[in-house]
């Protein structure tokens, strides 16, 4: 029994290694057929994880509640819409196509705060982040998110 558990743990560790950021998690042909809302679903998580890491690096001694309030300024739809408006002209054709596919999806929910336009642009931004993550394009993902963080911090000053 212990031998079986050891094999499962070893297999689980291999799965994690294969799916770590920087690896191509989904092959290119499958990636192009994934729903933009699914891309936005994973993109939302990836972007928020980057933001939380950024905040912890810069404010390691803040309380969790304070970190959460700070994170909201980066992840709210208005902030993501502001990011995409600034970087849109720097996107490749492929990236722009992914953004537009996400932006043009009919939303299944509506924002509690903010405009539907910002929400749609934020969905497009998240779809782009999800696409880059699943494609394993770590350098470009880092570049776009780092630039986004700079844009938000510049508008908050």
Among residues 15, 23, 30, 44, the one annotated as catalytic is 44
Give the angle 111-34-30 at the CA atoms, nearest 5°.
160
* 44 noted as active-site residue: yes
CB 38 within 8 A of CB 130: yes
The two three-digit tokens of residue 118, written as one number: 């910002």
- Using CB atoms within 10 A of its CB, is residue 8 exposed (0-12), middle (13-18) or buried (19+)? exposed
Question: Using an 8 Å Cβ cutoff, are 99 and 88 in contact?
Answer: yes
Look at residue 40 and give its three-state secondary structure: helix
Q: Which residues contact 138 (CB under 8 A, 6 or more apart)?
A: 21, 22
Q: Which residues are catalytic?
A: 44
């Amino acid at each position: 029994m212990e031998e079986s558990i050891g094999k499962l743990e070893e297999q689980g560790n291999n799965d994690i290694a294969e799916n770590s950021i920087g690896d191509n998690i989904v092959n290119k042909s499958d990636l192009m057929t994934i729903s933009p809302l699914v891309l936005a679903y994973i993109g939302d998580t990836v972007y928020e994880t980057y933001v939380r890491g950024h905040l912890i690096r810069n404010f390691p001694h803040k309380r969790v509640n304070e970190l959460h309030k700070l994170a909201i300024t980066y992840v709210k739809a208005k902030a993501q819409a502001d990011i995409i408006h600034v970087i849109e002209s720097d996107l490749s054709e492929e990236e722009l196509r992914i953004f537009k596919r996400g932006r043009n999806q009919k939303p299944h929910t509506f924002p509690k705060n903010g405009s539907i336009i910002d929400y749609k642009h934020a969905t497009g931004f998240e779809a782009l982040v999800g696409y880059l993550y699943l494609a394993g394009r770590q350098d470009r993902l880092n570049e776009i998110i780092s630039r986004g963080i700079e844009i938000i911090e510049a508008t908050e000053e």
